[in-house]
Amino acid sequence: MTRFQGQAPTGSLVQELEVLVRTAIFKPAGALVGYLLQGAADRIDAAYQSKPGQVYKGRVTVRIQCLFGCFELQRDYYYHECKQQGHYPADAALGLEVGYTPALARLLCLEGADENSYQKAQLHLAETGGIHVSGRQIQRVVQRVGPDAQKWQDVESDGAKGEGRH
């Protein structure tokens, strides 16, 4: 910032300043999101009633990425031996998708659909939002969330068409 104040502003210097300010603002914002989601996960886990056959296996830490950066989240893990299936109640309740918050997962899907390659989506997210997610990860989220999002979008679209007829 001192460099910006000590020189005549240029386009590249202004761009550099904006990236520095974004980074400075995103760090506490990411920490705040992490703090709030940890509190929510703790409340969800405390209230959770395990289903028959599920066995509590302990707390597991996962690294989560949101629009503002990354944080660690601890949440309870249950395992159903007969079904050979694990369950994190907090992940489901918070809408976490493969380590991403719902807002970031939605943005990844939008960028993945909007660009002609996942690598272009990766570059666009990094350049415009300071969000660093690999093209391969964007593809994983799109493949994981895409079919459900398409169903939801179709239902919303049908509802909007019905409203327009009245």
Print the domain residue range for 126: 100-157
| Separation CA 100–CA 2 (nearest Å) | 35
Helices 102-114 & 135-164 angle (0-180, nearest 10):
90
Classify residue 134: in a domain, yes or no.
yes
The amino acid at residue 107 is: L
Look at 7 and 97; give whichever has higher pLDDT: 97
- Residue 151 and residue 110 share a domain: yes
The pLDDT of residue 55 is 96
Q: Is the distance from CB of 64 to CB of 74 less than 8 angstroms? A: no
Kind plus residue range of the DSSP H or E element containing 76: strand 69-80
- Residue 127 and residue 87 share a domain: no
Q: How many domains does the chain have?
A: 2
Q: Is the distance from CB of 91 to CB of 75 less than 8 angstroms? A: yes
The pLDDT of residue 71 is 97
The pLDDT of residue 156 is 59
- Residue 20 and residue 70 share a domain: yes
Nearest to 37 by CA among 2, 8, 73, 9: 73
Phi, psi of 88 (to 5 degrees): -110, 100
- Residue 104 and residue 145 share a domain: yes
Q: Angle 159-160-165 (CA atoms, 0-180°, nearest 5)?
A: 100
Classify residue 33: in a domain, yes or no.
yes
The pLDDT of residue 160 is 59
In 10-65, where does DSSP find H-type helix? 11-47
Q: Which of 96, 120, 139 is the last residue of a domain?
A: 96
Q: Is the distance from CB of 99 to CB of 62 less than 8 angstroms? A: yes
Classify residue 1: in a domain, yes or no.
no
- Residue 144 and residue 87 share a domain: no
> 163 pLDDT exceeds 60?
no
Hey, what are 94's tokens? 């918070």
Phi, psi of 90 (to 5 degrees): -65, -40
Nearest to 146 by CA among 110, 120, 121, 119: 110
Percent of the chain at pLDDT exceeding 90: 64
The pLDDT of residue 64 is 98
Percent of the chain at pLDDT exceeding 70: 84
- In tens, the pLDDT along 18-61 reads 888 998 999 999 999 999 999 999 999 999 999 999 999 999 99
The pLDDT of residue 166 is 41
